[in-house]
């Protein structure tokens, strides 16, 4: 339901009002030259459930999560064109029954096509974005504040392990923060060239970083066997993942994941535990952390926590929308 007002018409004026309100809320983001990628409309948080719009240096990406909102697509696009100047528009369809990406031959909508890659900035760091290359763009925008904190407060002179590393964004920020060494582990074969690319965008010699294409759980076994210990371990797994040998569900398996990580983290080291699972609360996530340390007879201290940043606006009556949970944990024992 788009409106609670029975008399309110769902017309172009309705969508112009929603879009202009969303843009006004993010005015400070447009003014920040060090960050040129952020969310400009976040579903229920901006009164348009089932739709997100992300900004990438003059280009906008619409992601449709429900057929209901997609039926208003032409009106929304017209309203957007009347409200915003842009270089080009792209779209992703995610209203498959399981929320999967519906593959189009071309995700480009109108305007001019973006270069591939499109280079954007996040807190002064350069990243390659691909707007027409499948479901993902190359960067999860909701982790922006977490990456900055890692770079500015924790990385200096540390050895970092970045698990489920995707395109290595946490590793890039750690390296720029003065990390002695980064190791990025992800099962996807394309993580190697993609992570290499992001390092090179920031004039970091990728050959001096460790990029490992491997099942993360097999890597844990290897690290334990080799008695490897890390100063910082980042864990940002998908809510659900399946490999040949492992199935991971954040709801059922996060305690087990943490126990693996605790064992390869130095005493005094930091674990950055993250999940985007909307099916449990931050309180429950803290329970997972407590359980993992208790089962290993360890001790820890919570240093700081993060949920969604300001641009990922959340509707106060739909707290399930505030899905991101990140906790910085110091291993004491």
Quote the pLDDT of residue 262. Answer: 98
Quote the pLDDT of residue 133. Answer: 85
12-118: what CATH class? alpha beta
141-331: what CATH class? alpha beta
Show the tokens assigned to 262: 């605790």
- State the average pLDDT for the chain: 94
Domain 12-118 and domain 141-331 have a common topology: no
Mean pLDDT in residue range 63-89 = 96
Show the tokens assigned to 84: 């915003």
Q: How far apart are CA 199 and CA 171, in angstroms?
A: 8
Rounded-to-10 torsion of CA 47, 51, 54, 59: -110
Mind listing the pLDDT tens digit for each residue in 209-257? 999 999 999 999 999 999 999 999 999 999 887 777 778 889 999 999 9
Quote the pLDDT of residue 104. Answer: 66
Domain map of the chain by residue range?
12-118, 141-331
329 touches 159 (CB < 8 A): no
Mind listing the pLDDT tens digit for each residue in 34-72? 999 999 999 999 999 999 999 999 999 999 999 999 999
Q: Running DSSP on this structure, what letter comes out for residue 171?
A: H
């Amino acid at each position: 339901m788009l409106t609670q007002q029975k008399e309110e018409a769902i017309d172009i004026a309705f969508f112009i009002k929603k879009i202009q309100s969303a843009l006004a809320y993010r005015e400070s983001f447009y003014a920040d030259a060090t960050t040129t990628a952020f969310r400009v409309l976040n579903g229920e948080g901006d009164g348009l459930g089932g739709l997100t719009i992300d900004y990438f240096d003059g280009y906008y990406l619409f992601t449709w999560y429900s057929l209901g909102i997609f039926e208003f697509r032409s009106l929304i696009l017209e309203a957007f064109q009347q409200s915003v100047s842009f270089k080009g528009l792209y779209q992703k369809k995610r209203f498959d029954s399981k929320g999967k990406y519906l593959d189009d031959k071309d995700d480009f909508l109108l305007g001019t096509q973006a270069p591939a890659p499109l280079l954007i900035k996040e807190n002064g760091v350069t990243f390659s974005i691909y707007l027409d290359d499948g479901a993902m763009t190359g960067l999860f925008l909701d982790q922006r504040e977490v990456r900055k904190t890692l770079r500015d407060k924790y990385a200096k002179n540390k050895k970092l392990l970045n698990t489920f590393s995707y395109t290595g964004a946490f590793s890039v920020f750690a390296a720029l923060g003065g990390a002695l060494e980064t190791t990025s582990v992800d099962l996807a074969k394309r993580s190697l060239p993609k992570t290499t690319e992001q390092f090179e965008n920031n004039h970091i010699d990728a050959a001096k970083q460790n990029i490992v294409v491997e099942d993360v759980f097999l890597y844990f076994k290897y690290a334990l066997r080799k008695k490897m210990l890390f100063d910082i371990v980042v864990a940002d797994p998908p809510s659900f993942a399946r490999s040949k040998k492992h199935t991971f569900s954040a709801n059922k398996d996060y305690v087990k994941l943490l126990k693996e990580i605790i064992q390869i983290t130095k005493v005094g080291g930091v674990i950055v535990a993250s999940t985007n699972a909307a099916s449990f609360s931050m309180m429950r996530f803290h329970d997972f952390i407590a359980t993992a340390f208790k089962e290993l007879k360890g001790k820890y201290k919570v240093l700081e926590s993060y949920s969604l940043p300001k641009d990922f606006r959340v509707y106060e009556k739909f707290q399930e929308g505030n899905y991101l949970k990140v906790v910085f944990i110091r291993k004491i024992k």
